[in-house]
Structure 1
């Protein structure tokens, strides 16, 4: 049976984070609050866990699962190289609503879907999410909803869609307006804007000192 913890209550928050960390390490799924919408997550390095996540969302591997990290330095072990453009954007917007697509390190043994050698990384601006990520390491996290339905902005909405497929629900209160992260692809010769969301394209262009081209 799934467990739910109210992270506004200190004791429940501590117990919930411990239970969620245990679940992630066991290859199970958890729902956690982020600064955009609620996410469903698992150990990024567990292929079976990622497949369970996709099954819970009723989604195929053609849409790879993004990875959330708990610190700036984490990405150094996840990508082939970190270009200056990525460092500048990380310094300006992390933690926050900016996702970066980079070439992942070839030595990593993970299966996030049909990534074509890339990974989408973000550090969320939410204390519960960051605390869990710093405890368990990088997590594969997608919006906490069944594919084709609205993303969950409350734990109740996530529970209604995902039910017992999730082991632990961390309730961080309503997430507010469901604004997706901005996605910038840094794998080519020029940065490309794949999606404009929480961070305006103009702000990205200002940091990079060049216009970000649409995909």
Structure 2
């Protein structure tokens, strides 16, 4: 059921359910999350079961503020403190060394854990209410509120359509960021970018005072992290990325026979078929990020079999959008 996230009664109801080991969906500025008590392995197991997600694929734990880090992390390097000061609350997840015996299921059994402080008033109110619940809940493990590997939800309606009326969904309106958080691994002495988001590399580097490494730069295996599988964020339709010229050529070749195709492009495309769905991609990277998952879900709802997307520009501010589209196309 969908409840108004601005309602104190709805927040208190959600906090009671979470303290009792149940699962609740709630909004963040990035996407809607499917939350459970991060400290309860039994509650976390319900997230994995609901999503159909492998239990060794770690979840991100959401905390109310920077003081919540101490409940889950055993150490925080100086550059990570700088990132917290610069971007929390906000769309940044830090991978830190996990405290022994804490949130093992949420971490997928790893010695590290992903932590984030969301910048959404409903999420913040819920986290505060959970901290005062009986028993208290220090943080919420909350992956995106969708079936594993599929398109992330950016409205309460998306969540309800996926999981049905039995799940409590706190409605906080459409997500203003629209793609998941940037993930930085802080467990290896230097910052390592595991997943790009709307925060650019330059912003992160300026804040922490160090160059961002990639996993390929480092010796040893990177910690597993949410949303870093090759195939992810995929709609039911097959996604293909191509440049504007190739996209137009493909439409020209099919001519009036084109059907069950949707296009999402910055270029204005011509088609001789009235069965091609066309949506214009914004010229602004942040606006594209905000609407991307909703557009993919809309195309799925229209029953198309193919989604042809113009490849985003190879520019820093587009890195997060490119990442999500490349993973969607890999599916």
Shared fold, TM over 0.5: yes
Q: Are residues 1:155 and 2:156 paired?
A: yes
Q: How much does 1:4 deviate?
A: 2.2
Pairing 1:70–2:71 present: no
Change (3 A) 1:109 1:116: closer
| From 125, 129, 149, the counterpart of 1:131 | 125
Q: How many residues align?
A: 208
3-state DSSP of counterpart to 2:164? helix
Show structure 1 runs of 4+ deviating over 4 A. Answer: none
Query: How far apart are residue 32 of structure 1 and its match?
Result: 0.2
Separation in structure 2 between the aligned mates of residue 48 and residue 107 of structure 1, nearest angstrom: 14
Aligned counterparts of 1:57 and 1:25: Cα–Cα separation in 2 = 20
- Bigger Rg, which one: 2
Distance 1:210 1:79 in 2: 21
For 2:227, the equivalent position in structure 1 comes to none
Q: What are the ranges of 5 or more consecutive residues in structure 1 without an aligned counterpart?
A: none
1:75-116 per-residue CA deviation (whole Å, 9 max, x = no partner) reads 022211121111100000000000000001114254215342
Q: How does 1:181-200 map to 2 (within 5 A)?
A: 181-200=181-200
- Report the counterpart of residue 235 of structure 2 in structure 1: none
Alignment partner of 2:80 out of 75, 86, 100 = 86
Distance 2:102 2:34 in 1: 22
Q: Is the 8 A contact 1:63 1:114 kept in 2?
A: yes
Matched residue, 1:45: 39
Give the Å deviation of 1:148.
Answer: 2.3
Unaligned 5+ segments in structure 2 are 131-137, 216-331
RMSD of equivalent CA atoms: 1.4
* CA shift for structure 1 position 164: 4.8
The TM-score with structure 2 as length reference comes to: 0.60
Tell me how far apart the structure 2 counterparts of residues 207 and 177 of structure 1 sit (CA, whole Å).
20
1:7-33 Cα distance to aligned partner (Å, 9 max, x none) = 35xxxx111101100100111110001
Partner of 1:6: 4
